[in-house]
Amino acid sequence: MRLKLVSPEDTLIGHIGVPDEWGAYFERSGTARAAIPSKFRGPYQGLAVAFVPVADIHTVTLALAGWSQYQDAVYLVEGTVEELEALPDCAFAPSRAYLRSQINAIG
């Protein structure tokens, strides 16, 4: 499923590809959320010397941008483009205007 990624100001950031199954979530609630788990081991306060796996879960949340001038537009409510790209079957292709803004921000 290919969608347009926009900013809250309705600027086209680029196009994203997400799994087709996410369409059902957009239809049902207007949002789709995916978890990005990263496990680490550390001491658990309740046990004296035991180590247990703990998951630090970040999420990426996309919401339909019904207010946008673009059809099939979504915006990132939670997470980053980089985290979205790290998810299986997800991709991001930036717009030229977005690339120019990133280059101008550097120099």
Q: What is the pLDDT of residue 53?
A: 61
pLDDT at 60: 93
Q: Which two tokens stand for residue 83?
A: 């985290």
What is the Cα–Cα distance from 67 to 55, expressed in whole angstroms? 36
CB 91 within 8 A of CB 16: yes
What's the pTM?
Answer: 0.77
Which residues of the chain, if any, have pLDDT below 50?
Answer: none
**What amino acid is encoded at 100 in this protein?**
R
- The pLDDT, as a whole number, for residue 99 is 84
Q: What is the mean pLDDT of the chain?
A: 86
For residue 48, the model assigns a pLDDT of: 53
Residue 42, pLDDT score: 53
What is the pLDDT at residue 57?
A: 74
* pLDDT for position 39: 55
